[in-house]
Structure 1
Amino acid sequence: MRNSTCLLQPSLATTVALPVIYSCLFPAGSFGNILAAWIFSRQAHIKRTQYIYLANLVTANLLICSTMPFLAAYFARGYQWTYDCVACRIANHLGTLIMHVSMYVTIIILCSIALSQYATLKKNSDVQYSQAVNENFYRCVLAKFRQPKFAKYLCIVIWLIVLCITIIAIIHNIQARTKEEFHRCYNIRVEAGEFAAMIAAFVATSCFFVSFMTVVLSYYSLTRHLNKIQKNTCIGEKHLIYSTVKRNIFVIQMILTVCFLPYHIFRPIFYVLLTNNDCPRLSYLVEIKNFLTCLAAAKSSLDPVITLLLDKTFKKSLYGLFTKATPPEHRKRKTGIFTEETLEM
């Protein structure tokens, strides 16, 4: 399929810029996600659906952050490492592989959060609307995403699937090493994989676009319903939940669009263009892929910042760390991007 003997030539963008970016994202993302996990563990009831999703999202983010030092070392020195050295194996197994599988955990959980938010809206929606639009679908499928028991089982299934994929991929990589040898760790085999890796990439890309379109359709459906309400009635304080849920789903849609969409648009193009044996062009394609992957990984470091900007409970809890105590009235007000019920803004 491709010339595996092609010697990739990394530029300064790969050997300097990427290690610097990952080195900056690692402490920021680790600190932010650990802080977010600690704050939400103190403030949230474990049985609340949104916090079950949030706990798993933070876990996936921390896993991605934990791979960043290995990725930084790989891009800085990978072109000097031998293919069979321990550092190369760690970078591939603990770096690239775990980062990718954790990335798709975050994508699926973000989609689940969006559906849970939308289901909460449908529950609080007026009777006429709930009877008019896909009531059976809501009762059978959509309502499940706001049930804590379903959320817990869904996250367990996601992690079990990820664990199986990781083990199978590691075994496949170890077996593949005995069939073909390379002089350097930074090579086309590591960067693109073989046929099995290409199939897995297309499946993962399909999974992303299904999740992405689900969030887009949820936002579109919510916007249409909100426009109808604005034309027919005056939206009072009771209906502020509509704008809050709309904002929350929009934020998730923007995260998927900015951080993940460019990578998943380029990924199929990358595999199609690999059929060419032009080594300089392959080097540029690999570098573009790696920078788009870095953009996707940066999302795990930006999550705490987004939560800080949009979630009032998180803001007040963070403020409480630098004061004696959070006022009791602040503890009662649960609003923001990861809340199940929105009382006031």
Structure 2
Amino acid sequence: MNNSTCLLQPSLATTVALPVIYSCLFPAGSFGNILAAWIFSRKAPTRRTQYIYLANLVTANLFVCSTMPFLAAYFAGGNHWSYKSVECRIAHHVGTLVMHVSMYVTIIILCSIALSQYATLKKSSDPQYSQAVRESFCRCLLQAFCQPKFAKYLCIIIWLIVLCVTVTAITHDVQAWTWGDFHRCYNIKVEVGETTAKIAGSLATACFFVTFMTVLWSYYSLTSHLSKIQKNTCIGEKHLIYSTVKRNILVVQMILTVCFLPCHIFRPIFYVLLRHDDCPRLNYLVEIKNFLTCLAAAKSSLDPVINLLLDKTFKKSLYGLFKKSIPEHQKRDADIFTEMGKDMENFSRP
């Protein structure tokens, strides 16, 4: 049966709730991430590894937020737009495609942050770690995530891949846009995708679970390592730094679990249950997919709130914007996502 025989019928949840949610997330996320970027540019040391990762994370968040007005317009009026209209193409390319690509940039950078924090703390707390790094390729690669030069090159490579994927996908879509006999923009081809889109979605899902398990491994490995050294030695003043790093990795894990895990668990289920000749089921599956994608996109708007609640340096820098001057003892180097800073460097020296 031809796919076009099944017409998607969006419910009020899609045509009303999703546009309202995206319309609320857009100003909040844009303002918060622009403010975070401004604080980074004024307070954060540009040669710190964490700053490099966070600057790129904020950039990816802003890309996700910039797509939200297009998504809001698409879900509100896509069922009435012509499939070959300009607004349909813009909503699909700028909205859906750029949002998904940017979300995976945030996932990879979050994983890099977790690995960087894990490797830094492991090196500083284990005197034999530096020698072990030279003897193990995996540990050497792990340690590279702590190096600013590696972080810069990694982020450059990520964005180059993003550019190539985006340009290739848009070029393919433009060439194939006349295929099919669809009349409305909100249709199966846009919402479900063709074979190429399904393959790309499956690869992206596999990539997510690799990063998810990597962060999960780093958290439990770090927890086990800290429990071991606490039994054997008195860590004293280092306890606060250990707790901070452990908490930051846990925050990354919680973000991946709450925001990204549901949509990636549902994606293979979506492909398995997908039947083009069962319109009611297809409508339900598409709407569940769209709401879980919205949950993943909401992470980009919540990042500044998470920084404000959990990071003292970010909070002090934000409060400092409303004061004429900040006491000298509060002017720390701002490693926004982590509080290790110079303390970590000091106690890691022999």
Where structure 2 has 5 or more consecutive residues not aligned to the other structure, the ranges are 345-350
Contact 1:248 1:337 in 2 (8 A): yes
Distance 1:254 1:282 in 2: 30
Report the Cα distance in structure 1 between the residues aligned to 2:2 and 2:128, rounded to whole angstroms: 59
Give the corresponding residue for 1:183: 183
Secondary structure of 1:27 counterpart: helix
Counterpart of 1:266 in structure 2 is 266
1:122 corresponds to which letter in structure 2? K
Distance 1:221 1:178, change over 3 A: same
2:196 maps to 196
Q: What do residues 112-147 of structure 1 show as CA deviations (whole Å, max 9, x unaligned)?
A: 000110111022113156667996246521111011
- Please say which of residues 229-238 and 17-26 is displaced more in the overlay: 229-238
More displaced stretch, 331-340 vs 161-170: 331-340
Partner of 2:250: 250
Q: Counterparts of 1:183 and 1:222 in 2: how far apart (Å)?
A: 55
TM-score (normalised: structure 2): 0.94
- The one-letter amino acid paired with 2:305 is V
Q: Which moved more, 1:180-189 or 1:195-204?
A: 180-189
How does 1:15-54 map onto structure 2 within 5 Å? Answer: 15-54=15-54
Aligned Cα RMSD in Å?
Answer: 1.9
CA distance in 2, matches of 1:4, 1:201: 22
Give CA deviations for 1:293-327 in whole Å, capped at 9, x if unaligned.
00000000000000111111111111011111222
- The answer as to 2:69 corresponding to 1:61 is no
Q: Distance in 2 between matches of 1:123 and 1:41?
A: 28
Q: TM-score, normalised by structure 1?
A: 0.95
Q: How many residues align?
A: 344
Instruction: Call closer, same or farther: CA 1:297–1:264 in 2, change over 3 Å.
Output: same
Runs (4+) of structure 1 exceeding 6 A deviation are none
Deviation at 1:240, TM superposition (A): 2.7
Q: Which residue of 1 aligns with 2:348?
A: none
1:144 counterpart = 2:144 = yes
Please show how residues 180-329 of structure 1 align to structure 2 within 5 Å: 180-329=180-329
Q: Which amino acid aligns with 1:29?
A: G
Mapped contact 1:120–1:340 kept (Cα < 8 A): no
Given that 2:53 and 2:109 are in contact with CA atoms closer than 8 Å, whether structure 1 keeps it comes out as yes
Once residues 216 and 139 of structure 2 are traced to their aligned partners in structure 1, the CA distance between those partners, rounded to angstroms, is 21
Deviations 1:141-175 (A, max 9, x none): 11110111110000000000011000111111111
1:127 aligned counterpart, secondary structure: coil
Question: 1:90, 1:136 → 2: CA distance?
Answer: 48
Relative to structure 1, the CA distance from residue 133 to residue 148 in structure 2 (aligned partners, 3 Å threshold; closer, same or farther) is closer
- Which deviates the most, 126-135 or 195-204? 126-135
> One-letter code of the match for 1:236?
G
Are 1:91 and 2:91 an aligned pair?
yes
